[in-house]
């Protein structure tokens, strides 16, 4: 049976943003007069003007002019002056109140671009929309990641988004628990969109409404033994009955055994009298896998007017190998390492370090969302390629937070002498069986040459090597293109040395910085 979410009917809450009146609207003083005190600019930012007539010098308070607004001129002398207001293109409405001082008098001008009212959107529309735009979206809270800042997931029939930060009723942060929001509740929120890697987020949202779920569970996640067995979900419900849904991907290893009902009794789950159900499931073993298995089951209830559904996230243990230091990962045919993401090359791979060594994680799906400072667990088969260590297409890359104190190591300088020594050392060795090249943070200099998708660094005469670059996510292709043909200093992770006609030559680096050398 496919997992489904059916949302209850709730009262809609509409949040209307209205512009505050200027603290003093007076279009005419003896020494300064305005032909209008309101300025409306369209979303494209097209310029519009007002006329100022003064008998003495006047000036805008420039500290109150925001970056998105251009005012020309910002000051003037006695006489009639036309003042132009233009703005950068906007995706959301915005406004500002400006002040003009002439002698002892102060005029106020309200500048408005677009409208601040936010229309309702679906999760799919949020995902497809631009960053920076504010959205109002309604859905079900499927899980809560942080109860201080209010980080949680919201899902509707079109998709799921991450809520990163939730304001309390007074607009304050770090007070999420005061809202009483629980998994299964239907919520309407409003906030600006951003994208973190591939994760679509609404940031520091305002909660417009909460409709409490008809179902509450004793736990919204369960960890299961690798040997297989049974588990029970205890649910309090206020509907006319309970429906159990098992998604197709979970039904291959989880099945429903029984449902036992307890009528009208207060419990630790729900202090007010309601019905309780004990749902028992059976699950198969996961002994043949080195990767943990995940899935979910769903408990739903309907009162005739609305339906609530709450999912229980399942994680089943496996025969996962013990964690080893990266420097020792080649002692196993299959390894489990844990470290920090140090550098990411988009659509290619990323470097993980744990203090003992570093390794390239190549062709991992996680690369699309990987960010420096992420702490990650990696499961996969280690291999050697181009004289260096890598894990290609790992079975699992799991993020476990990030380290705010993260910083890159000091770069090792690779000059002509050091590069030539490395090439001599590698020449004649078997690059597929010998772990000879330590992956390290380096810097080298030369002339940047870009040929299509190839970004190379030509070293000075007398050097037998050549630089070959992958750009980290900290660099923009268009910025690097401006350095083509110039002498540059490259800093990044040396992750491989590739060969030309079986002779080691190309020092492959994921570049974090490329600076012109003048």
CATH number where 137 lies: 2.40.50.200
Cis amide prior to 73 (ω within 30 degrees): yes
Confirm whether 199 is domain-assigned: yes
pLDDT of residue 9: 26
Tell me, yes or no, whether 219 and 127 share the same domain.
Answer: no
Question: What are the structure tokens assigned to 515, written together?
Answer: 């600076």
Confirm whether 26 is domain-assigned: no
Q: Count of CB atoms within 10 A of residue 463's CB? A: 19
Tell me, yes or no, whether 199 and 229 share the same domain.
Answer: no
Q: Count of CB atoms within 10 A of residue 276's CB? A: 22
Confirm whether 165 is domain-assigned: yes
Burial of 408 per CB tally in 10 Å (0-12, 13-18, 19+) = middle
- Distances in Å between the Cα of 65 and the Cα atoms of 68, 228, 446 are 8, 65, 45
Q: Which of 360, 382, 402 is the last residue of a domain?
A: 402
> Could you please report the per-residue DSSP string of 382-434?
EEEETTEEEEES-SEEEEEEE-TT--PPPPEE--HHHHHHHHHHHTTS-TTT-
pLDDT of residue 1: 35
Tell me, yes or no, whether 202 and 239 share the same domain.
Answer: no
In total, how many domains does the chain have? 5
Name the residue with tokens 């998994």: 183
Instruction: Specify the CATH number for the domain of residue 80.
Output: 2.60.40.10
Tell me, yes or no, whether 219 and 207 share the same domain.
Answer: no
Tell me, yes or no, whether 444 and 397 share the same domain.
Answer: no
**Rounded Cα–Cα distance for residues 121 and 202 (Å):** 12
Confirm whether 21 is domain-assigned: no
Confirm whether 321 is domain-assigned: no
Confirm whether 258 is domain-assigned: yes
pLDDT of residue 273: 67
Q: What is the 3-state secondary structure (H, E, C) of 334-383?
A: CEEEEEEEEEEECCCEEEEECCCCEEEEECCHHHHCCCCCEEEEEEECEE
Q: Residues of the chain whose pLDDT is less than 70?
A: 1-28, 266-273, 431-435
63: Cβ contacts below 8 Å, ≥ 6 apart: none
Confirm whether 16 is domain-assigned: no
Confirm whether 19 is domain-assigned: no
Tell me, yes or no, whether 506 and 416 share the same domain.
Answer: yes
Tell me, yes or no, whether 488 and 431 share the same domain.
Answer: yes
Q: What is the pTM of this model?
A: 0.62
Closest CA to 396 of 317, 336, 323: 336
Q: Which of 281, 296, 316 is the last residue of a domain?
A: 316
Instruction: Specify the CATH number for the domain of residue 395.
Output: 2.40.50.140
pLDDT of residue 357: 95
pLDDT of residue 111: 94
Tell me, yes or no, whether 444 and 511 share the same domain.
Answer: yes
pLDDT of residue 8: 31
**Rounded Cα–Cα distance for residues 252 and 146 (Å):** 31
219: Cβ contacts below 8 Å, ≥ 6 apart: 233, 312
Q: Which of 186, 211, 236 is the last residue of a domain?
A: 211
In terms of residue numbers, what domain contains 137? 120-211
Tell me, yes or no, whether 304 and 387 share the same domain.
Answer: no
Tell me, yes or no, whether 79 and 145 share the same domain.
Answer: no
């Amino acid at each position: 049976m496919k997992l489904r979410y059916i949302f209850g009917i709730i009262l809609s809450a509409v949040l209307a943003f209205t512009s505050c009146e200027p603290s003093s609207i007076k279009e005419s003083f003896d020494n300064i007069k305005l032909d209008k005190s309101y300025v409306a600019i369209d979303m494209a930012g097209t310029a519009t003007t007002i006329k100022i007539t003064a008998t003495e010098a006047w000036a805008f308070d420039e500290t109150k002019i925001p970056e998105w607004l251009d005012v020309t001129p910002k000051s003037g002398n006695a006489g009639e002056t036309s003042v132009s207001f233009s703005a950068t293109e906007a995706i959301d409405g915005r406004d500002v109140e400006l002040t003009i001082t002439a002698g002892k008098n102060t005029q106020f001008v309200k500048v408005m671009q677009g409208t601040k009212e936010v229309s309702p959107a679906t999760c799919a529309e949020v995902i497809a929309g631009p960053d920076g735009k504010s959205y109002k979206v309604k859905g079900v809270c499927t899980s809560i990641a942080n109860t201080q800042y209010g980080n949680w997931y919201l899902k509707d029939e079109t998709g799921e988004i991450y809520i990163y930060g939730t304001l309390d009723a007074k607009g304050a942060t770090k007070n999420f628990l005061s809202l009483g929001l629980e998994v299964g509740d239907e919520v309407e929120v409003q906030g600006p969109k951003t994208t973190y890697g591939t994760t679509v987020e609404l940031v520091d949202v305002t909660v417009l409404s909460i409709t409490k779920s008809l179902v509450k569970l004793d736990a919204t996640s369960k960890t299961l033994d690798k040997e297989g067995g049974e588990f029970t979900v205890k649910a309090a419900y206020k509907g006319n009955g309970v429906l159990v849904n098992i998604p197709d991907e979970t039904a291959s290893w989880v099945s429903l055994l029984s449902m036992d009902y307890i009528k009208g009794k207060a419990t630790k789950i729900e202090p007010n009298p309601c019905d309780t159900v004990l749902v028992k499931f059976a699950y198969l073993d996961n002994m043949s896998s080195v990767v943990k298995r995940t899935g979910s089951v769903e408990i739903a209830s309907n009162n005739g007017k609305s339906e609530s559904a709450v999912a229980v996230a399942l994680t089943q243990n496996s025969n996962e190998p013990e964690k080893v230091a990266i420097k020792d990962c080649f002692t196993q045919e299959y390894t489990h390492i844990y470290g920090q993401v140090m550098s990411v090359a988009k659509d290619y791979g990323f470097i993980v370090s744990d203090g003992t060594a570093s390794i390239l994680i190549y062709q991992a799906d996680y690369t699309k969302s990987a960010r420096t400072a992420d702490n990650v667990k990696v499961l996969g088969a280690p291999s050697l390629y181009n004289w260096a260590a890598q894990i290609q297409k790992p079975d699992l890359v799991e993020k476990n937070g990030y380290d705010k104190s993260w910083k890159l190591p000091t770069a090792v300088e690779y000059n002509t002498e050091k590069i030539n020594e490395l090439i001599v050392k590698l020449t004649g060795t078997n690059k597929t069986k010998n772990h000879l090249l330590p992956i390290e943070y380096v810097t080298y200099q030369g002339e940047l040459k870009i040929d299509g998708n190839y970004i190379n660094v030509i070293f000075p005469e007398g050097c037998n090597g050549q630089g070959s670059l992958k750009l980290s996510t900290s660099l923009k292709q268009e910025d690097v293109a401006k350095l083509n043909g110039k002498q540059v200093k490259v800093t990044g992770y040396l992750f491989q040395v590739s060969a030309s006609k079986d002779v080691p030559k190309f020092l492959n680096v994921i570049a974090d910085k490329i600076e012109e050398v003048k």
